[in-house]
Amino acid sequence: MGVSDKKMHIAENLEQVKSTFKNPDCLLVAVSKTHPPEAVMAAYEAGHRDFGENKVQELVKKQEVLPGDIRWHMIGHVQSNKVKMIAPFVHLIQGVDSVKVLRLINKEAKKCSRTISCLLQVKIAKEESKFGFEEEEIMEMIADEEIKKLGHVKIIGLMGMATNTDDEQLVRREFAGLKAFMERLRKLDLPSNFDLQELSMGMSADYVIAQEEGSTMVRIGSAIFGERNYG
Ligand SMILES: *Cc1c(COP(=O)(O)O)cnc(C)c1O
């Protein structure tokens, strides 16, 4: 496929995906991991501005060569020693999975005189996933006096990944469970750096179900950019 054919497909795919949204206000984060900057530019030229990457180094490399008005979402696990590389510019860190990382984001955000928006990643899948909080851990966290002193982070919502399965009912229950958990949290007396509004759930295979269950943000890669060779 020629470069211009590919570009056309990316713009078409974006339109196609958006046309199937159950909630037209849901934010589409285009996941460009493993795809070159040219692929991001094709979506950019079609008017898209929110992009997601799951590796800090790849995110930084793309950010350096691509337009400054792109909103970069860090969607994967962030290694502690790499927080400082994205702190100056990252729009939203979606994969906050430990208090340790949250503290570090706060420290690096302070150095940049920024407040960085974050989502807490919650384990919702049946399969054993390495990253993410258990619900009880988040309950402990909001009761911890130390958390409310982290003035350079803002927790604006939750993120979750459903089990990778054809069992739609299971996927639906997992998304519904995350939505219900956020609603429970919203009724509590939360620290002032919490303002829970966003639910990031849904990928290429399950974003329609996720939107039916209350997703406000979907992270879509292969349905826009095509299959990945790695990652
Ligand atoms: C890769 C990735 C996505 C996008 O996956 P697709 O199936 O290609 O849409 C979404 N979220 C996270 C955290 C990812 O790592």
Closest residue by Cα to atom 10, ligand 1, is 219
Q: Count how many domains the chain has.
A: 1
Distance 143 CA to ligand 1 centre (A): 32
44-75 burial by CB neighbour count: b if 16+ within 10 A, else e?
bebebebbbbbbbebbbebbeebeeebebbbb
Ligand 1 neighbourhood includes 222 CB (under 6 angstroms): yes
Give the global pTM: 0.95
Q: What is the mean pLDDT of residues 96-119?
A: 97
Tell me the pLDDT band of 135, cut-offs 50, 70 and 90. Answer: very high
Q: What is the DSSP string of 162-187?
A: --SSS-HHHHHHHHHHHHHHHHHHHT
Tell me the pLDDT band of 90, cut-offs 50, 70 and 90. Answer: very high
Q: For residue 5, give the DSSP letter.
A: H
Q: Is residue 230 part of a domain?
A: no
Distance 34 CA to ligand 1 centre (A): 11
The whole-number pLDDT of residue 230 equals 60
Q: Is residue 153 part of a domain?
A: yes
Q: What is the mean pLDDT of residues 152-178?
A: 97
Q: Is residue 189 part of a domain?
A: yes
Q: What is the mean pLDDT of residues 131-139?
A: 95
Closest residue by Cα to atom 12, ligand 1, is 75
Range of the structural domain that residue 35 is part of? 3-225
Distance 227 CA to ligand 1 centre (A): 11
Neighbours of 195 (CB within 10 A): 14
Q: For a pocket test of ligand 1, which of 16, 75, 124, 230 has the largest count of ligand atoms closer than 8 A to its C-beta?
A: 75
Distance 111 CA to ligand 1 centre (A): 30
Q: Is residue 231 part of a domain?
A: no
Tell me the pLDDT band of 24, cut-offs 50, 70 and 90. Answer: very high
Q: Is residue 126 part of a domain?
A: yes
Closest residue by Cα to atom 5, ligand 1, is 221
Mean pLDDT score of the chain: 95
Q: Is residue 99 part of a domain?
A: yes
Residue 117 phi, psi dihedral angles, 5° rounding: -80, 140
Looking up residue 98, the CATH number of its domain turns out to be: 3.20.20.10
